[in-house]
Structure 1
Amino acid sequence: MLTPEQRQVFATLAETLIPASDTMPSATTAEVSGALLDQVLGYRPDLVDALTAALDSSAGKDPEAALDSLATEQPGQFEALTVLAAGAYFLSPAVKAAMPYDPAPRPARDDMDSYVDMLEHVVDRGFVIR
């Protein structure tokens, strides 16, 4: 789908958009330009053309200047690039492991008796079209 050169441009731009912090990995550390990018493009095939146009127009440019140019002159391409970079980033196992998130435990609720009681009225009433 994407050429190795386009993937390299994507990695460079994503690294500029998502640098490393004290606790979170950078975009290239999260390996966003490989299988994760392919996975996100599978979810959003409508963004492929805008992404490839953004990557082709950004090739050989300074990453910050390329991003500034896309944001002002081609906002649709900039949006495609940023949505896909963020999507690939948050799919990364390295990012998930670095996030300080503990989901709340789900309480087990077995309300089968309540559901059966509620459905008993429907069964007694029968099929009625109103």
Structure 2
Amino acid sequence: MLDSDQRRTFAALADVLIPGSDLGPSATAAGVPDALLDQVLGYRPDLVERFAEAVAWCTDKDPEAALDALSVQQPEQFQALTVLTAGAYFLSPQVKAALAYDAPPRTARDDVDSYIDILATVVDRGFATR
């Protein structure tokens, strides 16, 4: 999807947006510019064009200054870039491990009463093949 120069530009931007800390890895250390980015681009094809425009606009500029200017001058492109960067970051196994967050178990939906009502109609009608 992105060539190596675009990925390099994006990696620099992503590390400005999500630097490494004691709490978690940087965006590049988490693998954001690689397969994770491709994954989120697949999830959000509606943002691909604006994301590509943002990366192109920031190419050959200081990443921090480019992001500051992008947020003011092209807010839709900035939003696409930041949404996809954050989405890719939270898909990373290293980030999930660093967060040490276990989602609560999903409650089972017990719809037996509605199944009984549906099946009662079938039983009343009788078995017939067509």
Q: Structure 2 length normalisation: TM-score? A: 0.82
- The change in CA–CA distance for 1:25 and 1:120 in structure 2 (over 3 A counts) is same
Tell me, in whole angstroms, the C-alpha distance in 2 between the residues paired with 1:75 and 1:111: 46
Gaps of 5+ in 2: 126-130
Percent of pairs with identical residues: 58
Gaps of 5+ in 1: none
User: Residue 85 in 1 paired to residue 85 in 2?
Assistant: yes
Q: Structure 1 length normalisation: TM-score? A: 0.82
Report the Cα offset of residue 10 of structure 1. 0.7
User: C-alpha deviations, 1:2-46, integer Å up to 9, x for none?
Assistant: 111111111100100001121211101001011100000000111
Residue 24 of structure 1 aligns to which amino acid in structure 2?
Answer: G
Tell me, in whole angstroms, the C-alpha distance in 2 between the residues paired with 1:110 and 1:29: 43
- In structure 2, the residue matched to 1:31 is 31
Tell me, in whole angstroms, the C-alpha distance in 1 between the residues paired with 2:95 and 2:28: 11
User: C-alpha deviations, 1:56-112, integer Å up to 9, x for none?
Assistant: 110111111000111000000000100110011001111111112123345668674
CA RMSD of aligned residues (A): 2.3
Q: Which is further off, 55-64 or 95-104?
A: 95-104
Pairs aligned (count):
125
